[in-house]
């Protein structure tokens, strides 16, 4: 069927929760996609920073096929070897000592808040409130809608669960002012993604760590978008030398296969007991086998070096080309935001028409989120298409 046929079926059968582009992708390889009409695209969207190793990476396909022929699901009533292997690799590669697996970033953030509240109940006289940032995005479950600092995602869902206090990002004094005896944690994205690729000011994350330590509360980093190599290190916190107590990750951990995780240090893990939290599909053999292979490839196959080199090439491209429609370029690694002087959604639409996938964000920003292992030729092709769009709108 063609794109138009899929669009008709979509409108007939799916709940209208998305404003979708009228393109149905049916095949992908690396950083390229093909739609139902046979047209080719350069993918600088990566499923919104999710397809970390590109489409149909041979090692991931092999791992998934092998596991699909062995075992899909048994539940967490029993030991799951690949879940244990992936947790071990995550712990050996980060600050954490224990891992909880789930299916998405929102679920990982829900787990983080629940674990923080468990810790607060045991060690902080029942403290339960979490300070989060304005313009943040933490997911679409009801609690994470409440945690999110963007008003647009809250509309229609009131009354929302309580327990969250919002303060401006990059404002340490506002965090201090929001503190009271009921606060158990501060939760932030090290770099705000949906909010427009907003980087932390110098000393901000270090200041949050200091505030949390001085007040005996937890620091939670939402690395659902920044993590798993996206920013040039395995996790963004490594760029700043600031360790959280809890870190959440998802998106790129499965390179498109659904998986999420909450990473805990010993302090937090000590408050968790059997039965305190669970996820039916979390840690299942299929997801964790793929996640293990994703992490191994990123750590062992030079992917992080490629992220840094590709990032340098993109920033050089913008330094060497003066676009009247571009106001600012910012970000780390291959989490790059281009703030525009023209409408960002119109820019994304025109890019799609030329065969380039981009992602809009807050603050009139478009995100460049290519696969972490993108090759030089495809990267160059994508930047050339960006140049064509910018010229057409300048």
Q: Which residues contact 319 (CB under 8 A, 6 or more apart)?
A: none
Q: Rounded mean pLDDT of 350-362?
A: 98
Q: How far apart are CA 35 and CA 337, in angstroms?
A: 26
Question: pLDDT tens for residues 200-248?
Answer: 999 999 999 999 999 999 999 999 999 999 999 999 999 999 999 999 9
Domain boundary pick from 239, 269, 300: 300
Do 242 and 284 sit in the same domain of this protein?
Answer: yes
SS3 helix, strand, coil % of the chain, rounded to 5?
Answer: 40, 20, 40
Question: pLDDT tens for residues 123-157?
Answer: 999 999 999 999 999 999 999 999 999 999 999 99
222, 257, 332, 347: which is the annotated catalytic residue?
Answer: 222
The verdict on residue 199 lying in a domain is yes
95, 100, 115, 137: which is the annotated catalytic residue?
Answer: 137
97: confidence class by pLDDT, cuts 50, 70, 90: very high
Do 313 and 287 sit in the same domain of this protein?
Answer: no
Q: How far apart are CA 116 and CA 125, in angstroms?
A: 12
Do 91 and 215 sit in the same domain of this protein?
Answer: yes
**With contact defined as beta carbons under 8 Å apart, do 268 and 115 qualify?**
yes
Q: Rounded mean pLDDT of 73-82?
A: 97
CA dihedral 22, 28, 30, 33 (to 10 degrees): -30
Do 307 and 295 sit in the same domain of this protein?
Answer: no
Do 360 and 214 sit in the same domain of this protein?
Answer: no
Residues constituting the chain: 394
User: Which pLDDT value is given to residue 63?
Assistant: 98
Q: Is 222 a catalytic residue?
A: yes
Q: What count of other Cβ atoms lies within 10 Å of the Cβ of residue 274?
A: 6
Instruction: Work out whether strand 129-133 and strand 359-361 pair parallel, antiparallel, or are unpaired.
Output: unpaired
Q: What percent of the chain has pLDDT over 90?
A: 99
The verdict on residue 66 lying in a domain is no
Q: Is 221 a catalytic residue?
A: no
The verdict on residue 62 lying in a domain is no
Do 117 and 23 sit in the same domain of this protein?
Answer: no
- 363 pLDDT higher than 90: yes
Q: Is 154 a catalytic residue?
A: no
Do 210 and 326 sit in the same domain of this protein?
Answer: no
Tokens for 306?
A: 């490629």
Q: How far apart are CA 216 and CA 301, in angstroms?
A: 40
How many domains does one find in the chain?
2
Which residues span the domain enclosing 192?
71-300
Nearest to 194 by CA among 137, 248, 146: 137
Q: How far apart are CA 356 and CA 317, in angstroms?
A: 16
260: confidence class by pLDDT, cuts 50, 70, 90: very high
Helix (H) or strand (E) holding 159: none
The verdict on whether omega for the bond into residue 102 sits within 30 degrees of 0, i.e. cis, is no
Q: Which residues contact 100 (CB under 8 A, 6 or more apart)?
A: 111, 115, 261, 262, 264, 272, 277, 279, 282
- CATH number of the domain that residue 98 is part of: 3.40.640.10
- 394 pLDDT higher than 90: no
- CATH number of the domain that residue 378 is part of: 3.90.1150.10
**With contact defined as beta carbons under 8 Å apart, do 221 and 244 qualify?**
yes
3-state class of 166 per DSSP? Answer: strand
43, 129, 221, 251: which is the annotated catalytic residue?
Answer: 251
User: Which pLDDT value is given to residue 385?
Assistant: 98
- 269 pLDDT higher than 90: yes
What is the pTM assigned to this prediction?
0.97
């Amino acid at each position: 069927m063609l794109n138009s046929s899929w669009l008709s079926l979509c409108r007939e059968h799916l709940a209208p929760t998305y404003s979708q582009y009228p393109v149905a992708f049916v095949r992908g390889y690396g950083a390229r996609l093909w739609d139902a009409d046979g047209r080719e695209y350069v993918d600088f969207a990566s499923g919104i920073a999710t397809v970390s190793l590109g489409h149909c990476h041979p090692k991931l396909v092999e791992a998934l096929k092998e596991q699909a022929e062995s075992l899909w699901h048994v539940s967490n009533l029993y030991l799951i070897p690949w879940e244990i292997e992936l947790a071990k690799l995550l712990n050996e590669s980060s600050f954490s000592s224990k891992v909880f697996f789930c299916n998405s970033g929102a679920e990982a953030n829900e787990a983080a808040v629940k674990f923080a509240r468990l810790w607060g109940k045991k060690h902080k006289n029942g403290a339960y409130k979490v300070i989060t940032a304005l313009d943040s995005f933490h997911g679409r479950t009801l609690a994470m809608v409440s945690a999110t600092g963007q008003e647009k995602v809250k509309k229609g869902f009131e009354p929302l669960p309580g327990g969250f206090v919002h303060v401006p990002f990059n404002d340490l004094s506002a965090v201090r002012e929001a503190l009271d005896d009921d606060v158990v944690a501060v939760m932030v994205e090290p770099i705000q993604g949906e909010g427009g690729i907003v980087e932390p000011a110098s000393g901000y994350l270090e200041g949050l760590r200091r505030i949390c330590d001085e007040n005996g509360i937890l620091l939670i980093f939402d690395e659902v978008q920044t993590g798993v190599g996206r920013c040039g290190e395995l996790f963004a916190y490594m760029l700043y030398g600031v360790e959280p107590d809890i870190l959440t990750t998802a998106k790129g951990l499965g390179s498109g296969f659904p998986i999420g995780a909450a990473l805990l240090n010993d302090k937090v893990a000590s408050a968790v007991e059997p039965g305190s939290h669970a996820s039916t599909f979390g840690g299942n053999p299929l997801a964790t086998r793929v996640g293990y292979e994703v992490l191994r490839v990123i750590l062992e196959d030079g992917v992080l070096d490629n992220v840094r080199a590709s990032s340098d090439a993109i920033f050089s491209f913008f330094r060497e080309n003066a676009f009247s429609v571009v106001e600012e370029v910012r970000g780390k690694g291959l989490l790059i935001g281009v703030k525009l002087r023209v409408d960002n959604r119109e820019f994304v639409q025109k890019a799609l028409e030329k065969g380039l996938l981009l992602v809009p964000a807050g603050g009139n920003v478009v995100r460049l989120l290519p696969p972490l292992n993108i090759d030089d030729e495809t990267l160059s092709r994508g930047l050339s298409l960006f140049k064509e769009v910018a010229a057409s709108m300048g």
